[in-house]
Structure 1
Amino acid sequence: MLNCLFIPASWFYVALLWLLLCFSCKNPSGKKEGAVLRYNQPGGITSLDPAFAKDQANTWAVNQLYNGLVQLNDSLQIMPCLAKNWNISPDGLTYTFTLRNDVYFHDHEIFEGGKGPKLTAADVAYSLGRLIDKEVASPGAWLFNGKVEEKQPFTALNDTVFQLRLKQPFHPMLNILSMQYCYVVPQKIVQHYGKEFRNHPVGTGPFRFKTWRENEALILTANRHYFETDAQNTPLPYIDGIKITFTENKRTAFLQFLNGNLDFISGIDATYKDDVLTPDGQLQPALNGKVLLLRSPQLITEYLGFLLGTSGNPALQNKKVRQAIGYGIDRPQLIRYLRNNIGTPASQGFIPKGMPAFNPQTPGFTYQPEKARRLLKEAGFEGGKGLPPITLEITPAYQDLCTAIQKQLSEVGIAVTLELNPPSLLREKTAKGDAAFFRASWIADYADAESFLAVLYGNNPAPPNYTRFNNPQYNQRYQAALAQSNPQERHLIYQQSDQILMEEAPVIPLFYDEVLRFTHPNIENLGINPLNLLNCKQVKIK
């Protein structure tokens, strides 16, 4: 690790002073600005290299520093970014992108004359090639492994035209290219710093790297040569910088927010949720006018999964028993009393609310205790008599939720024992096939329902197919969706696949999660979206 990672405190506070001096400035929109957007990242950041943007903490920072070929708006629509247009060959195998010619990397002393060079298609080819380079060992390699051609999958046809070639059609590819893993980096800087590029980031994004004192603060400053503008042709970003702190205690961070030392908080912790939200999920009256609450569906499905096949619990191989469990759970009650109405009952399938392919008419599981009892009887276990022991594998964070589910299921004749596991152990059990019945979450990697339906695709190992579900009709629908170029037709196939899942019940969806952001009234254009991405380029501070 290079010594420059550990920045002397004197230099760090000089950087802070520099940002504070910006408070008196005006941004290009002409509005008075507070200059610096401040937020806390309790889990810390491990890398500012897009190739290692593996979690929310890293992706939020990376999203400010770099750009990809395409980007998503808050409605999850694919929009141009570094690429101004693109076309897909009729066979779905070749993607050709035409790049903007006004994009420059951030200035850096390593570049000739200290000036950032113009981005070219060769930079794109290099950046995507890094993801599948075994020496880089990027956790994002799976995005392209097995999907792109073995030889020359990424090609710069000239300075402004880039081409990507697939082995077989995979129409979620544009969504994959919007992910932070796929953001573009300068080869010269990466090769100069090697692994230490993680803390010497240089991109094309709306903000530039200034200072990172690990576990204390990260400071980014506005890139005043950024290529994007707003609808009135005003240069972006509006603000002068971003300050990210790393207070581990979430309650302490929330108090800092209430005291005006942070500009927004993402999510809510159990230690203070009742102080902030009413049981119905609204802001406590004392906070009205002082705090704004932003909400959005989040692409997360919380569910119960069953191990299918000879290794699973014999009783749970019976579809009617699995369905009885699905109908024996009162989801609205769980969300209201345990989650302050954060989330939506998962009554429409495995595809979560907020996903473009979500269909509110998909028949899923609702609370029907009499139907649950009838299904149990039809399975040969009337009133639960003769039903073999059922153990639900859980983690401590979900003990309250699963205890409530245990009680609800007992009322329809299904006795369930809970077994607590550390998260790492439960992941190991599900991967090895040692968990016959388990609670899990699935989080979208990208804004296409394939990201969820792949979890139950029969040809996939564990992970992601922890249930070992292998249904020929479902597998055929999954493959048909990947080959379908028309988005509406593909969504229809996804919805048909989801209906198969609800009939066969390898999983029992519990609820779709929700993004919550708390902000002050003087923060504008923070935005919110189902992928919980943070985009600061249009933020204004009044």
Structure 2
Amino acid sequence: MIFKRINVKTYLNIITSASLIFTSCKTEHKDESKELPGGAYRGGFLRVNEVENIKSLFPIAIGEVNTHHIGAQVYEGLVKFNTTDLSIRPCIAYKWEVSDDLKTYTFHLRKGVKFHDDPCFPDGKGREVTANDFKYCFEKLCSPDPNNQQFQVTFKNRVLGANEFFEGKSKELTGVKVINDSTLSIELYQPDPTFIQILSMPGCFVFPKEAYEKYGQDMRTKCVGTGPFYIETIKEGEIILMKRNPNYWAKDEHGNQLPYLDGIKWTFIKEKKSEILEFKRGNIDLIYRIPVEIFPEVMGKLEEAKKRKFDFAVESSPLLSTFYIGFNVQTNPVFKKKEVRLAFNYAIDRDKIANFTIQGEGTAAKYGMVPYYEVFEKEGYDYKFVGGFTYDPQKAKDLLAKAGYPNGKGFPEITLNVNSGGGDRNILVADVVKKMLEENLGIKINIQINTFPEHIENVAQGKSDFFRFAWVGDYPDPETFLVLFYGKNVPSSLQEKSYVNMFRYINPKFDSILEASKKIADSKERMKTLALAEREVILDPPFIPIFYDDNFILEQNNVRNAPANAINFWDFSTTYLVPAEVTAKK
């Protein structure tokens, strides 16, 4: 994967003499720093802002980007992603073997990895992690907790005995075996090329039994892990203060103890304009997603930002993220009709939204749920075969008429549910989508705005039948997007929450193709089969793809090694801050 300083041709004609909002009003932020062998610096607090409140930091309940950002600094699993190229690297497991039949993984744990110090332990001191801790946590992962958002996308239909344990048919997760304190084996139903990546997900993080027994459901904010940082203070909606874990197991290639930072301060400024103001004042070190309203101004200083000539830098990378509008195909009778959903798709001008509404912050969704990614295409994913939706108002009208609503006559008034936060982008896009659908189809749409946690719950509970959402890949593979449509993830009752397949979409042909892909060893053939599965969804779409996000991160000029990758995975263990006097000399 290639990471780069931004190179967006669209903005090359912007007047470069235009005033940039970041060149003034910056306050001083001083930290005592020490240069280490290899050139990194020890010390300082990294200040990061999230625009949404946390829902839960308990590993099996993590389902949003912001909670993953935070949780990944505190918790770890057997393996983790390399933040640069997204390859899998050892974490608490320092090595592993895979059996000849590719169904059994045997992991060997590092000695001396300890949980954070916490009152849940008898002496308040964190004890060493053992294989039994992973067995315990994996059984929690496979338990029917109403807040469990991870089982369906991790161990379900993958790990031997996981389904039976979840359904209460077995008292033990038979596919996970503790061989000794430092050795663990996991047996799968069948070979799975993505399983090692699955183990990097939040649901596979380890935590001590003592913490769950002491805190129970309070573990949504009481975090005890093994990560490079521990949480000292949480004031929900205001601040999370993390401190450096003095007992962290990892060292860098020069023998320096990680992490480099003294800690991380997370704030929760909801409005992007206010967030930007704090950034230019020097009170925030790093923000992601540059607001629509200032995007051209930032791009206007492209070359300067690339060379860190100003007080900020812009990092960019591809991002596996799709912004879409979803239909609940079970709760509203009109959305059960395929022609209605197709009509909505052809009534949307995605180019106009990408170029004008979000001003180049993303690219028009010309294909389906799987965003265009050059790596996937080279591996055999056939985007042209998958197809997508063009802007065709007449075709949209014809389809709606075929569904029984000529010129929108008789079509019920509907509500588009949108979450607040993240600046004005969600609302701007919702307004444009509403206008396009009303003008092209002759229907009436209202917009309902809720907070992000409320929005997630409403959609999962089936209370929203027409909703805005976005999905960032959990791992770099098309499967992480296609699992959203898997019919066997739909609860049997409308009263049960559906966190993964929020559309409550069931397509037996799609399910059979997706299942078949899991049995294919050849990588290119597997990718071809996954594309075939997505084509079935395009023919019967339970969603409207709007645009694919690009990954832009704005950082102060003294920030080094901040992660930028296609799945927005953050690991700040090797991030460091260059002292102001050193930055000034460069």
Residue in structure 2 matched with residue 278 of structure 1 by the alignment: 296
Contact kept, 8 Å, 1:96 with 1:161, in 2: the verdict is yes
Contact kept, 8 Å, 2:397 with 2:407, in 1: the verdict is no
| RMSD, aligned α-carbons | 4.1
Aligned length in residues: 512
Q: 3-state DSSP class of the match of 1:395? A: strand
Q: 3-state DSSP class of the match of 2:319? A: strand
Q: 3-state DSSP class of the match of 1:492? A: helix
Residue in structure 1 matched with residue 562 of structure 2 by the alignment: 526
How far does residue 114 in structure 1 lie from its aligned partner after superposition? 6.4
Residue in structure 1 matched with residue 364 of structure 2 by the alignment: 345
**For residues 418 and 107 of structure 2, what CA distance do their matches in structure 1 show?**
47
How far does residue 132 in structure 1 lie from its aligned partner after superposition? 3.4
Which residue identity does 1:63 align to in structure 2? A
How far does residue 364 in structure 1 lie from its aligned partner after superposition? 2.6
TM-score for both structures, normalised by structure 2: 0.73
| Aligned residue among 235, 252, 272 for 1:230 | 252
Is 2:100 the counterpart of 1:64? no
Contact kept, 8 Å, 2:55 with 2:67, in 1: the verdict is yes
Residue in structure 1 matched with residue 538 of structure 2 by the alignment: 502
How far does residue 438 in structure 1 lie from its aligned partner after superposition? 5.6
**For residues 478 and 237 of structure 1, what CA distance do their matches in structure 2 show?**
40
Is 2:201 the counterpart of 1:179? yes
- Which structure carries more relative contact order (alpha carbon 8 Å, separation 6+)? 2
| Aligned residue among 339, 354, 364 for 2:387 | 364
Partner deviation per Cα, 1:230-271 (whole Å, 9 max, x = no partner): 3445432222222223444543333222111221122345xx
**For residues 368 and 569 of structure 2, what CA distance do their matches in structure 1 show?**
24
**Aligned residue runs from structure 1 range 17-28, under 5 A:** 23-27=32-36
Is 2:101 the counterpart of 1:82? no
How far does residue 282 in structure 1 lie from its aligned partner after superposition? 5.3
**For residues 506 and 221 of structure 2, what CA distance do their matches in structure 1 show?**
44
| Aligned residue among 314, 320, 324 for 1:303 | 324
**For residues 202 and 483 of structure 2, what CA distance do their matches in structure 1 show?**
21
How far does residue 335 in structure 1 lie from its aligned partner after superposition? 1.3
How far does residue 141 in structure 1 lie from its aligned partner after superposition? 4.3
**For residues 134 and 385 of structure 1, what CA distance do their matches in structure 2 show?**
45
Residue in structure 2 matched with residue 291 of structure 1 by the alignment: 312
Contact kept, 8 Å, 2:49 with 2:287, in 1: the verdict is yes
Is 2:432 the counterpart of 1:404? yes
Any runs of at least 4 consecutive aligned residues in structure 1 with deviations exceeding 6 A, and if so which?
A: 284-288, 378-381
How far does residue 185 in structure 1 lie from its aligned partner after superposition? 1.8
Partner deviation per Cα, 1:309-344 (whole Å, 9 max, x = no partner): 8964399533xx755654453322211211121112
Is 2:283 the counterpart of 1:261? yes
How far does residue 69 in structure 1 lie from its aligned partner after superposition? 0.7
* CA distance 1:389–1:336, change in 2 (3 Å): farther
**For residues 434 and 393 of structure 1, what CA distance do their matches in structure 2 show?**
8
Which residue identity does 2:528 align to in structure 1? L
Q: Percent identity?
A: 28
Unpaired segments of 5 or more residues in structure 2? 1-28, 166-171, 420-425, 492-497, 579-586
**Aligned residue runs from structure 1 range 30-41, under 5 A:** 30-32=39-41, 35-41=44-50
How far does residue 490 in structure 1 lie from its aligned partner after superposition? 2.8
* CA distance 1:222–1:430, change in 2 (3 Å): closer
**For residues 263 and 173 of structure 2, what CA distance do their matches in structure 1 show?**
39
Is 2:441 the counterpart of 1:414? yes
Of 236-245 and 48-57, more deviation after overlay is shown by 48-57
How far does residue 152 in structure 1 lie from its aligned partner after superposition? 3.1
Of 334-343 and 491-500, more deviation after overlay is shown by 491-500
| Aligned residue among 359, 373, 394 for 1:373 | 394
Contact kept, 8 Å, 1:92 with 1:485, in 2: the verdict is no
Residue in structure 2 matched with residue 202 of structure 1 by the alignment: 224
How far does residue 86 in structure 1 lie from its aligned partner after superposition? 2.7
Partner deviation per Cα, 1:72-103 (whole Å, 9 max, x = no partner): 12333322211223344455553322222353
**For residues 507 and 133 of structure 1, what CA distance do their matches in structure 2 show?**
30
* CA distance 1:292–1:86, change in 2 (3 Å): same
TM-score for both structures, normalised by structure 1: 0.79
* CA distance 1:193–1:322, change in 2 (3 Å): closer
Contact kept, 8 Å, 1:22 with 1:240, in 2: the verdict is no
**For residues 459 and 135 of structure 1, what CA distance do their matches in structure 2 show?**
18
How far does residue 519 in structure 1 lie from its aligned partner after superposition? 0.5
Contact kept, 8 Å, 2:513 with 2:530, in 1: the verdict is yes
How far does residue 457 in structure 1 lie from its aligned partner after superposition? 3.0
Unpaired segments of 5 or more residues in structure 1? 1-19
Which residue identity does 1:401 align to in structure 2? V
